[in-house]
Structure 1
Amino acid sequence: MKFGNWGLIKKNRSGVSLSLSLKKLIFEVVLVAIAAFIISMTIITERERRDYGVRDSDNVLKTLSSNISSDIEKYTSLSRLIMIESRVIDFLRAEVSAVSMGMINDARYGIMDILNSTEGVDSVMVIREDLIIVATNRFTYNYNTDLMNSEDWRREIYEGNGRAVVSLNSYGIAEKADGRPMVSIGRAINDIDTQKRTGLLMMNISTSVFENMLTRLGYNNICIMGTDGTFLAGNREYENYFGDEFLSEKIRHRNIRLGGKDVLLSGCRVNDLPIVILRVSPYGTAGIPFRMLYILLFLLVVFTLMAVFVAIFIRQNITDPIFELSGAMERNKRSGELKKIDVEVPYSELNMLEGDYNSMIDHVNELFDELVEKEKTLQKAEMRVLQEQIKPHFLYNSIETIGFMALDAGADKVHDALETLGSFYRNFLSKGDREIPLSREICIVKDYLSLQKLRYGDILEDEYDINEDTLNFVVPKLILQPMVENCIYHGIRLKGEKGTIKISAHLEDGELHLIVRDTGVGMDAELIEKIVTSRSNTYEQNSSSFGLWGTIERIRYYAGREDVVRISSEIGEFTEVEFIIPDMMHPGA
């Protein structure tokens, strides 16, 4: 790296301050911690509030389900007492002809004696197999005789085999005149002696039983529904939230909006009864783990204080010493001298940074010395190349004059040869440029080979395989002509037979691959190794090797790397030299 670029690098980086970056980072970390605390607090609070609401609803629904089941079981036991009441049994066993109004009244009185000590039973119907009915009604009922005569509604009761079957609204065979719903308990009645079915019993329970239960328990946020969607008791505002999801005995929960607030809707079926309980409960502060929140808040405060302490520590022990190092480096730069710095820093890591900078200064000084030596070597190589060429400007003008004289004398071939020679020197001079397009370099070689063919005749042939996309690639001037000259004098001519020089160029991975191949005498591996690996100018005294070595050194200098050449050869067959010029030589690179 050149020292002149150091100021540019510092300028490009000076827009970002390490101290400000660390402060910004710590501030962002604290903000993230606060945001995480708020989010965590919100999540924990909402989760605990919901969990508390779910637990509370579970307890209420389980308690209420148990109470309803107990009440239904109480009325089921009451129905058993009615089934074994003697006057009811006599009514069921009597022949049709023996059934009188007196027997019916006796059976009714027997039922009433049992019901007198119990509230909540609206009516009891005992129906014989021949559809003669004994009924005790506390309210006015309307009967559906057509439905009563059908078998459909009785089939479910008969399948219970004497077990109580709970349903709603007496399967539709009887309904209150005021339209209020009721819960019905139906049982098939079998004779206790013959076990023959003698009829069935239908007990209708008033929904006031459930209303009284809710009032007694203080539940004003409960709605009791039938599985068919019939409202039975409780808060009627909640009946619209009834759905099939609550037909399971497992308690279900979901959030709903009620009065602009989020509330918890819970519901389940009461065991195997056709009754569903819905409960709506608001989310309150109950269940919020305030102790946990206080602990989290305390940890946040501790974390914030630690972050502030870390920021102060970093500023005093890292950024300030770095600023001191940077100031020393800046003063070193302004002095214009590459010398080491000596700054007192508190930690070994910063001492390492200071040591690395001083090592870099030593290395840069070494690079300067090496660069100066390379420049001298390059200039000597270029001077040697130029010294070996005939290039005075007056010679080009003289050649042009002689060419016109030859043309006037009718010596066309001489004129053409002089034109070729003039073209060669025109491209050769190239206005003093060190780099030229590959197309002009090819023209120099073609002119040079045309002149050599005049000398050697048919012993020399040339071939070209140049890709179009390489013609504008900029290369160091006169890298091909010395190679071609080396092919002629130290390859083909020494072989003593006709030879071919082939020049190829193509792009690969953005790099120019320039190949010169001749069918001359070749060279052994030892000579190839010396040419490729030697970095001294010992070949200057050997004119047969200087052209190749000097060209390699020039390309290495311009490319800024060592691996720019590959040489392959076979004694008596060929020699192939391949130059790899990176894309940095291209004008658009």
Structure 2
Amino acid sequence: MNISILKKIWILAAVVLSLMASIWIALTYYNQQTQEQYNDILQRYIRMNEASIASKELISSLNNYLHSPEPAQKEVLGTSKQKVREAKYEVYKLRNTDNDFELSNYINLMDSLTETVDRTLLLQAEKDTEEAGKTFAEATRISMYISEMTLTLIDKELNTYYPFYQGIMEKSEALKRLGLWLLLLITFLLIMFTYWFSLSITRPLLSLSRAAKELSRGRFDLKIEVQSSDEISFLAKMFERMRVNINNLIMEIQEKAQLEKELQDNKLLLQESQLRSLQSQINPHFLFNTLDTISKKAYLEGSEETSDLLVNVAGLLRYNLKRLNRSVTLYEEVRVLHQYVEIQKARFSERLQFHSEIDESCLHIQVPGLTLQPIIENAVIHAVEPREEGGVILFAIRDETDHVCVVFKDDGPGIPEHIVYSILNEQDVEFSGHSTGIGFSNVVQRLRLFYHVPNVIQIESISGVGTKVILNLPKIRSSENDVQSTDRG
């Protein structure tokens, strides 16, 4: 029977929850039973006490009525009599074999109290004040007897239920001891179950790890066997199948090793030559003018501005030489673009006006190295350098939900339609005596290979108005793109 790791985890959780639920239910049931018994005893005391209080209230109401026989006082007296009757009914419910005699006398006293009050009222109505006073005194004595009897009954109840209180205390102590032993037992069971559970996972993993080490040492003749009934078993079977396939291919690989080595050497040489070719495309015109600007500033100023310019040039050259063969973040590309612009501002001064609008939340996405600089360099060469009044370059990065939009816009003379067509078809061409920077068409080619999207770039150009280059960079690359990018790296 195959039990997945997820099922094992659910089993462990179910066992823990079941133990906790069982203990909680048992404790809740015990507490509920104890509470109900305690409340029942407490109610017995309360009912007896209420009967005593009701008798005293009745005597007080009768006294008030005798001194002031008004309708309001008579109504209060009637209410007090009703309370005595209700208290007698509640006390009657408390009868049991232990208090039958005392409780019968107690109820008879309450009946006698009610009858005496009624007789007092009758005598008061007949204007027999002396006899009414005597019956009132008798009613008062009966009320005192009821109070004394209440104390007697409560004392008897205490004696009767004292063993119960003792039982509660003993049960509480027993429950504490039981809770401690249950805690120790549950802890032990959980440790044992967790140990078994961890072994069921770690033991096959250790076996698989040892097999992987042997495979890494070239031991393809050892069979991989893992005793498990979960996903690790499936993984081990796949590992064994891979070992068999590799072992079957070893001879064939050895025969073709020399040929593969030669092909690989040739491929590496080709890639290196392509890389060197791309790196060597750094515009000599740009380097010459940059160095000339640095020398003039060093001669005229010899200040911090010159130092900053040197730092920007060094950073730019270092980036151009090291970053072309792998992907970078858009943040790194923007940083080197700003270094390039600072160098060009030092060169053209107020002739170059550069404005940027950047959504920093988009700067984490991956792009091919050296993507933005060739485009901005192309704008400087064709829109700023040839014109005496210079030019304006706008740069923006915007979040477009499913992709990031990077925009370059200049107010230069524009790019002819056939040049735009050649660039979009990855054909490197010359325009106005210059190449398109560090291979504008090469940028297009690398972007398409990197993202596997044909419309990753758009070029809108109007003669005499300017040029707008738009990069639509997907936020998520497909696995196919990753493979191609890796091959190119």
TM-score norm. by structure 1 comes to: 0.32
Of Structure 1 and Structure 2, the greater strand share is in: 1
Return the TM-score normalized by structure 2: 0.37
More helix by share: 2
